Chains A and B, each alone.
Chain A
């Protein structure tokens, strides 16, 4: 404490000039909610990389099937079970694209040479001689389509239900909450499987089955947020000015909930992809010739010991899709969630 004993004379200080015009100056341009959120997403490297990866996968899902010379449904049994071979990469020994496969006894064979096949199948072929490359991207396309559709329907039902329930309150809210309570008590696995058994597997029936219980979590979150918002002054103001209930909900409340809606939708996309693949894997998914990532994994799994590449490629694609969507959703949650704002 010795240093405090030193005396400091008053003339060593001078008063600071208080200038009201500079102290109130805003040094940076003011950002709205979305610009602010974008700043924070940008700091999250994982989310940005994932965004690029998802962009790439969506483009490949759209143009991939036509990049390959072979049609995804064209069967050619003479070319069945060929390992992957890519033109420029076949001579690089450590890459698995040289068109050879290892037999159980350890011998390496090249079916392309044995069968004298000139074509290059980039990801190999399946048991019916269909080109895996175009099938994988076709499958990605269908999986993403189901996931986006299911997530969108979940969003529409969930937001409407939650907003109405929260906004009107009272008896309406009470009845609607009991419905949600019963629905959320039913395990979604059980209801999805039952619906698929009854509806017969197909793109639409899988989507419907996924949405039956999928919207409940969205409705809950939206209701809680609406309950919080509806007593605020801006709602009272527009009600005083004579705005209708529908207008208040859709014009005034929903824009304030955009962040929550986006976060929830982003989390329901990987969930839908998982459930679709899951159904395919237990034999309740899409039927041949339609392919999704789930059916491809299921087919590949059956031939796994002899032809591991048939399982490996779709497995890698679905894992990358799932990881990327989860990382984006996490990044968006950190950026948009008002509770996390620092």
Chain B
């Protein structure tokens, strides 16, 4: 197991290094400079600016400097947002994103599991078809379309929840629902398949033959066994939440990482784009690693397959 984890961590570091390098060189390929008033600057001013930010040095020198700083944890300063160090800029925003992501994951998996279990218990009835249809819709409709509609009908028309901004618990309701749609759909479909399979297995028949009551069979025997594989979808779900958070945060004006990223992309702020990209990549990779390790702990077959390599 330790060997397996070690191997995965080494892969993770290689991937991160590649992403950092790739991000750096791609940023260098972008035409133009990151300064807002470039058109108004004289050549001398531009030169001074480039010199100040060390953007006039040869690319390899910049690359080495960037990588060394990165290892030290220094992500550079923002060009656009009042020269704030990037780590400070992002640090202030990570809380909102983390809270939103956590809430959505929680709501998504809990409701998804409930829907999936109901669907499996009432297999091939209209309740089952209903939950399946909800799952298809949740999987298909893009989160930003759903968020837009939610904002208009629930926020503006009905006025149940605040339309945007991030000032208290009630402000988190709509973004959480919008972000949780996809996890609900995925968890529900997965849970239904697992549950149907478990319900058809011999030990359920035995429990039924023993005369255990319906609820005891469903929850004590079937649910606990069906829940284990659900861990495998948690990784892809967390990844989808990060993708979704970019647009959801933009729509609801949530002061999180995603909104910062979209803003930085629009104004060409290299250092913030790079740092956010790296942060996203890091989170993605760590989440997938954790899920894989968790699954390896629960299901020994995975561990063996990984160890042999």
With contacts A185-B285, A197-B273, A198-B29 taken as known, whether A323 is within 8 angstroms of B152 at the C-beta atoms is no
Instruction: Write the nearest CB–CB distance from A170 to chain B, whole angstroms.
Output: 15
Q: Is A202 an interface residue (CB 8 A)?
A: no
Establish whether residues B152 and A308, one from each chain, have CB atoms under 8 Å apart when the complex forms: yes
Please give the distance in Å from A212's CB to the nearest CB on chain B: 11
Taking a contact as CB atoms closer than 8 A, the residue among A198, A277, A322 that contacts B140 in the complex is: A322
Task: Check A185 against B12 for contact (C-beta < 8 Å).
Answer: yes
A106 to B250, CA, bound (A): 29
- Identify the closest chain A residue to B137 (Cβ): A323
A86 within 8 A of B: no
Provide the residues of chain A in CB contact with B14, threshold 8 Å: 182
| B148 contacts A297, C-beta separation under 8 Å | yes
B12 A194 Cβ-Cβ under 8 A: no
Q: A197 vs B261: C-alpha distance in the bound complex, in angstroms? A: 12
Supposing A182-B15, A190-B281 touch, asked if A197 and B144 sit within 8 A by C-beta, the answer is no
Interface centre among A195, A197, A277, A327 (most CB of B within 10 A): A197
Known contacts A187-B280, A319-B140; 18 further A-B pairs (Cβ under 8 A): A185-B15, A187-B284, A194-B26, A197-B27, A197-B30, A198-B30, A274-B142, A277-B145, A278-B142, A281-B247, A282-B247, A297-B144, A305-B152, A308-B152, A315-B148, A318-B142, A319-B141, A322-B142
Instruction: Look across to chain A and name the residue whose beta carbon is closest to the beta carbon of B12.
Output: A185
Q: What are 9 A-B contacts defined by CB distance under 8 Å?
A: A182-B11, A185-B285, A189-B242, A190-B19, A194-B26, A282-B250, A284-B265, A308-B152, A315-B149
Task: Determine if B243 and A282 form an interchain contact, defined as CB atoms under 8 angstroms apart.
Answer: no
The CA of A278 and the CA of B239, in the complex, are separated in Å by 15
Say whether, besides A297-B145, A297-B148, A182 and B137 are in contact (CB < 8 Å).
no
A263 adjacent to chain B (CB < 8 Å): no
Q: How distant is B12 from chain A, measured CB to nearest CB, in Å?
A: 7
Known: A311-B152, A326-B136. A194 touches B277 (CB 8 A): yes
Q: Flag whether A181 is at the interface (Cβ < 8 A).
A: yes
Neighbouring A residues of B246 by C-beta, 8 Å = 189, 278, 282
* Chain A residue at minimum C-beta to C-beta distance from B16: A185
Inter-chain CA distance A281–B143, complex, in Å, is 11
**Which residues of B lie under 8 Å from residue A197 when comparing CB positions?**
26-27, 30, 265, 273
Instruction: Rank and list the top 8 A-B pairs by shortest CB-CB distance, nearest first.
Output: A185-B15, A322-B140, A323-B140, A187-B284, A315-B145, A319-B141, A189-B243, A326-B140
| CA of A312 to CA of B12, assembled, Å | 43
Contacts of A297 in B (CB 8 A): 144-145, 148
What residues on B are CB-neighbors of A182 within 8 Å?
11, 14-15, 18
B139 in complex: contacting residue of A193, A198, A326, CB < 8 Å:
A326
Instruction: Let me know if A270 is at the binding interface, CB within 8 A.
Output: yes
Question: Measured between alpha carbons, how far is A330 from B18 in the docked complex, in Å?
Answer: 36
Residue B213 interfacial (CB < 8 Å): no
- B251 close to chain A: CB less than 8 A: yes
Shortest C-beta distance, B145 to chain A (Å), equals 5
User: Distance in Å from the Cβ of B56 to the closest Cβ of chain A?
Assistant: 21
Contact A283 B266 (CB under 8 A): yes
Query: Does the CB pair B148–A186 fall under 8 Å?
Result: no
Q: Does B64 contact A (CB under 8 A)?
A: no
User: Residue of A at shortest CB range from B278?
Assistant: A190
- Chain A minimum-CB-distance residue to B285: A185
**In the bound complex, do residue B265 and residue A193 qualify as a contact, i.e. CB atoms below 8 Å apart?**
yes
Distance to closest chain A CB from B280 (angstroms): 6
A304 CB-CB contact with B under 8 Å:
yes
State A182–B21 Cα separation when bound (angstroms).
13
Decide yes or no whether A301 CB sits under 8 A from chain B.
yes
Contacts of B136 in A (CB 8 A): 323, 326-327, 330
User: B156 near A: Cβ within 8 Å?
Assistant: yes
Known contacts A185-B15, A297-B144, A318-B142, A305 near B250 by CB under 8 Å:
no
Nearest to B141 among chain A residues (CB) is A319
Residues of B within 8 A of A283 (CB): 262, 265-266
Q: Which A residues are in CB contact (< 8 Å) with B273? A: 197
For the complex, is B23 an interface residue (Cβ under 8 Å from A)?
A: yes
User: Chain A contacts of B290 at CB under 8 A?
Assistant: none
A:313-342 near B, CB below 8 Å: 315, 318-319, 322-323, 325-327, 330
Return the CB mask of B168-179 against A: 1 if under 8 Å, else 0: 000000000000
A326 to B26, CA, bound (A): 34
